[in-house]
Amino acid sequence: MANNSIRSVPGMADVSEPEASWLRELENAFVETCRCYGLEELRTPLVEFRDLFAKSLGDATDVVQKEMFSFTDAGERELALRPEGTAGVLRYVASERPATEDVRLFYVGPMFRRERPQAGRRRQFHQFGVEMICSPDPVADAECLALQVDTLRNMGLQKFGLKLNTRGQIEDIGRLQEGLRRDLQANLSALCPDCQRRFQSNVLRILDCKREECGRVVGALPRLENYLSEESRRYIARVYEILNGMGIRYEVEPRLVRGLDYYVHTVWEVVHPGLGAQDAVSGGGRYEVEVGGRRIQGVGFAIGVERLLLALKREQAAPQTERRTEVALAAVGEGARIENLKLAREIRARDIACLVGLRSQSLKAQLRAAQKAGCRLVLIRGEDELRRNVVRIKDLGSGEETECPATEAVLEVQRRLAEGGAGRS
């Protein structure tokens, strides 16, 4: 049996190189695109009062019912690790921003859901999220969808599909649920046990149940839009029209409802063909939530970062990592090790990545470590070089070794890297 003290918790994984660098590149592209759209960054706590999620996502949702990591702290407070980012953002907006203001925010960070771990499904995962706080307006939804598509494109993803639908305005939700129950009633016994339970608690979820028997029943239902008011139908028609005008491609998915209760009007999912069963790279939509006595309306989305990375790998489009360590400093003797620390800082001041050994080692071991790190040059010093105030420069590519005055070492390194085309100017 594996030793628990060196195992990570199931569904929660370390991110090491090269993935860690890829994620940083993706995050940079995401942040840059958001800034281009005029968004500000927000960082909310990982832990919130449990009630915030229960009230905003909906008590009957799977996330709240089954998937939250909830606990009571020493002060008897009911808390939870955040399962998603929207609720925390809305709490911030309700407490800190005037109701008259439209607010555009983006966030990046870990989320936690106690789901069964499998490919594309983790218990700790990461989201790149966007929330635009504004009243319902098809133009705002289209702007948010444009940002959804542009973020993914700018992160290098190409073969994704955007699926769109509407849940109608908030006044329609009751009618929608009633209509669905009426039409499903006759076939209730043909549904899976989970959906039979959902019939009362969360009838909309039956629409996107993946079980075959439920798919058959749902397939015979009228289109969701038929249950909605004229106003709701006009709203989504306008969204489609604006997207067409902007050249944004989408597919109408008349059964798409999404798993969180706060959604109204436009909802969407971005899917990728390389992902298998968990094929949603991102999900979003318009919402309306009451937080602290204030009704907050907005539109947003969240990209699942692990799934995005998987999709990029399938497209052979994993990001290029820009920075590599070019130079290593090797020392023979304590005096040279300390002098090397100083020289390393001068080299780094020129924005050249360089490595010093963290312990005293043979020169051979230091050269091996430099090779392994992918360095092009090794600067070598011992007692003799220190006395003569020189540095030996070894080119790991050609094996050639030269010597230069210590005072010129930084410039010489810069010149040699530029010559080899590997340095950054």
Question: Using the rule CB under 6 A, is 88 a contact of ligand HAM?
Answer: no
Contact 336, 314 (CB under 8 A): no
Question: Between residues 21 and 127, which has the closer beta carbon with respect to ligand HAM?
Answer: 127
Q: How far is the CB of 119 from ligand HAM (least distance, A)?
A: 10
Question: Between residues 297 and 340, which has the closer beta carbon with respect to ligand HAM?
Answer: 297
399: tokens are 């094996």
Question: Using the rule CB under 6 A, is 132 a contact of ligand HAM?
Answer: no
Residues 297-316 that bind ligand HAM (CB under 6 A): 300-302, 304, 306-307
Interface stretch with ligand HAM, choices 178-186, 294-302, 324-332, 404-412 (CB under 6 A)? 294-302
Q: How many residues does the chain have?
A: 425
Question: Using the rule CB under 6 A, is 285 a contact of ligand HAM?
Answer: yes
Question: Using the rule CB under 6 A, is 113 a contact of ligand HAM?
Answer: yes
Question: Between residues 264 and 410, which has the closer beta carbon with respect to ligand HAM?
Answer: 264
Q: How far is the CB of 48 from ligand HAM (least distance, A)?
A: 13
- How many chain residues are in contact with ligand HAM, going by CB under 6 A? 25
Question: Using the rule CB under 6 A, is 84 a contact of ligand HAM?
Answer: yes
Question: Between residues 272 and 337, which has the closer beta carbon with respect to ligand HAM?
Answer: 272
Q: How far is the CB of 81 from ligand HAM (least distance, A)?
A: 12
Give the Cα separation of 144 and 130 in Å (integer). 8
Give the Cα separation of 83 and 68 in Å (integer). 6
Please pick, from the candidates 58, 284, 319, 423, the single residue that binds ligand HAM as defined by CB under 6 A: 284
Residue nearest to ligand HAM (CB): 304
Interface stretch with ligand HAM, choices 166-174, 279-287, 352-360, 387-395 (CB under 6 A)? 279-287
Q: What sign has the CA pseudo-torsion 304, 45, 9, 30?
A: positive
CB atoms under 10 Å from CB of 212, counted, come to 8
Q: How far is the CB of 294 from ligand HAM (least distance, A)?
A: 18
385: tokens are 């070089």
Which DSSP string do the residues of 346-367 spell out, in sequence order?
Answer: HHHHTT--EEE-SS---HHHHH
Question: Using the rule CB under 6 A, is 281 a contact of ligand HAM?
Answer: yes
Interface stretch with ligand HAM, choices 146-154, 278-286, 314-322, 376-384 (CB under 6 A)? 278-286
Residues 13-72 that bind ligand HAM (CB under 6 A): none
Interface stretch with ligand HAM, choices 79-87, 159-167, 216-224, 341-349 (CB under 6 A)? 79-87
Q: What is the 8-class DSSP label of residue 117?
A: P
Question: Between residues 282 and 297, which has the closer beta carbon with respect to ligand HAM?
Answer: 282
CB atoms under 10 Å from CB of 62, counted, come to 17
The tally of CA atoms less than 13 A away on the side-chain side of residue 247 is 1
Rounded to 10°, the helix 138-154/19-36 angle is 150
Question: Between residues 117 and 333, which has the closer beta carbon with respect to ligand HAM?
Answer: 117
Give the Cα separation of 209 and 204 in Å (integer). 10
The tally of CA atoms less than 13 A away on the side-chain side of residue 378 is 26
Q: How far is the CB of 113 from ligand HAM (least distance, A)?
A: 5
Question: Using the rule CB under 6 A, is 202 a contact of ligand HAM?
Answer: no
Secondary structure element (H or E) that encloses residue 72, with its range: strand 70-72
Residues 356-375 that bind ligand HAM (CB under 6 A): none
Which DSSP string do the residues of 264-318 spell out, in sequence order?
Answer: EEEEEEEE-GGGTTS-EEEEEEEEEEEETTEEEEEEEEEEEHHHHHHHHHHTT-P
Q: How far is the CB of 231 from ligand HAM (least distance, A)?
A: 22
Question: Using the rule CB under 6 A, is 91 a contact of ligand HAM?
Answer: no
CB atoms under 10 Å from CB of 218, counted, come to 20
29: tokens are 């592209």
Question: Between residues 298 and 423, which has the closer beta carbon with respect to ligand HAM?
Answer: 298
Q: How far is the CB of 312 from ligand HAM (least distance, A)?
A: 13
Torsion-angle region of 260 (φ positive above 0: left; ψ -120 to 50: alpha; else: beta) = beta
Give the Cα separation of 305 and 341 in Å (integer). 37
Applying CB under 6 A, the residues found at the interface with ligand HAM are: 84-86, 113, 115, 120-122, 125, 127, 129, 131, 280-285, 287, 300-302, 304, 306-307
